[in-house]
Every structure is written in C-alpha cells, then in structure tokens.
Amino acid sequence: MRPFTHLAAMELKLLARDSGNVFFMVALPLLLLILNSENKTLTNFLPGYIAMALAIGGINTLPGVIGSYREGKVLRRLATTPISPLALLGAQFVAQMVLGLLATLIIVGAGILVFGVDPPRHPLSLALAFLLCSTMANTLGFLIASVARTAISAGVMGLMVMFPSIFLAGAAVPRGGLPESVQRVGDFLPLTYGVTALRQGWFETPTLMPFLLLIGIIVICTAGAAFLFRWDR
C-alpha cells in the first residue's frame, strides 16, 4: 500500500505542475462564477461548475497523460519492474480524484463564502454524486486513451468530447436555459447525468435514476477500456 500511495502522490505532483491543467480545472469555473455572481439563481450554476472541473481533469487531461506514458513506453518498462503498470494507472486515477476534490472544495468554498450561494441541502447525496461523476469522467478518459494511438490524438479526442459536453450537458449553463433541441442532444452525453446528480444533491430532490445511469456508464467505460487498452503503440 505504501508504494502505491507514494506513486499516487508523485502523479498528483506531476498533475499539479501542469499549470494549464490546474488553471482550467479551477480558474475557468471560478471565472464563470465571478461572471455570474450578480445572477440571483447562482446556486443553479454551481453544480455544473463542479462537473466542469471534473470533466476537464478526467475527460480532457487524463487521456493525454496515459497516451504520453504509452508513447514513451513507460507502461511497457514498468512490466519489468516491481511496480505494475496497473498500479500506475490506478495512481493516475487516484491523483485525478484528489485534484478534482481539491478543485471542488475551492469552487464550493468560493461560492458559499464569497458569493453567498446556499449550502447543499443533501450533503451525502452530493458526496455520492461527486464520487460517481468523478469516476465516470476518469473511466471515460481511460476509454478515450485506449482508443487513441498517440498522446496528441488522445489529447485531441479528449478535447472533442469534453468541450461539447460542458456546454450541452448543462455544466457551463443550466440545461433549463438551453433550447429544447440542445437539451435532447445533451440527453446522450454521460456528463449530463453527472450534472443532474450534483444538482439533485445540492438543491433538488435526489432520485435514483441519474445515479444508476452514472454507475452504468462507469461499468461500460471500464469494460471498454479494459478490452481496448494497449500497453504500447
């Protein structure tokens, strides 16, 4: 357990040194929070900003990291050491979860303490929604990394999935403010159900459906990534 903890800590440090990654995970949601600070329904926006931070880390950043490890033959070399390549993938998963949690705490803290957003009505439901949304984003990121052949293509594919998702799934703007046709498109995006679960945990009445859908998406992405994953090019 100690070597894995050390490996996860190293992965977290490497992620934190990526200023672009940290900026988009934290600064972009905070910037949107500031721009909408005069909005009387600011509480409606905050769950989406949490989902946005998690999507940036899991869907956008993670595929490029795994792609670079594969391209640099890091995973293949680890197979000849006491450290399993699976341990490195697990450490990256944990590091993304921790970074997502830190970003979430900053966004939530700013929303409540600085902008007067109402605190969550269902903290336990919100915590479960965070866990499932983060896991979904990361497993989707692993699936993208499994399909992509190079680090560059993994990064591009991550961007192509992440950017439409944050706008169509209701992360940047609540879905109620989107045209009905756009909402129908968003129904097919995994991040939509992460946003819905987070919204229900914050100020709506929690229901089972978004949580069950997130679990189903996690299972599908995990199975797909396991089947398609390549240790080298």
Q: Where are the domains of the chain?
A: 2-228
Query: What is the structure's pLDDT at 31?
Result: 94
Structure tokens at 131: 């866990």
Query: What is the structure's pLDDT at 88?
Result: 82
Assign 104 a pLDDT band (cuts: 50, 70, 90): very high
Assign 1 a pLDDT band (cuts: 50, 70, 90): low
Query: What is the structure's pLDDT at 29?
Result: 94
Assign 145 a pLDDT band (cuts: 50, 70, 90): very high
- Residues 105-121 have pLDDT tens digits of 999 999 999 999 999 99
Using CA atoms, how far apart are residues 10 and 4, in angstroms rounded to an integer?
10
> What average pLDDT does the segment 5-13 reach?
88
Using CA atoms, how far apart are residues 144 and 229, in angstroms rounded to an integer?
10
Check if the beta carbon of residue 99 is closer than 8 Å to that of residue 58.
no
Check if the beta carbon of residue 87 is closer than 8 Å to that of residue 13.
no
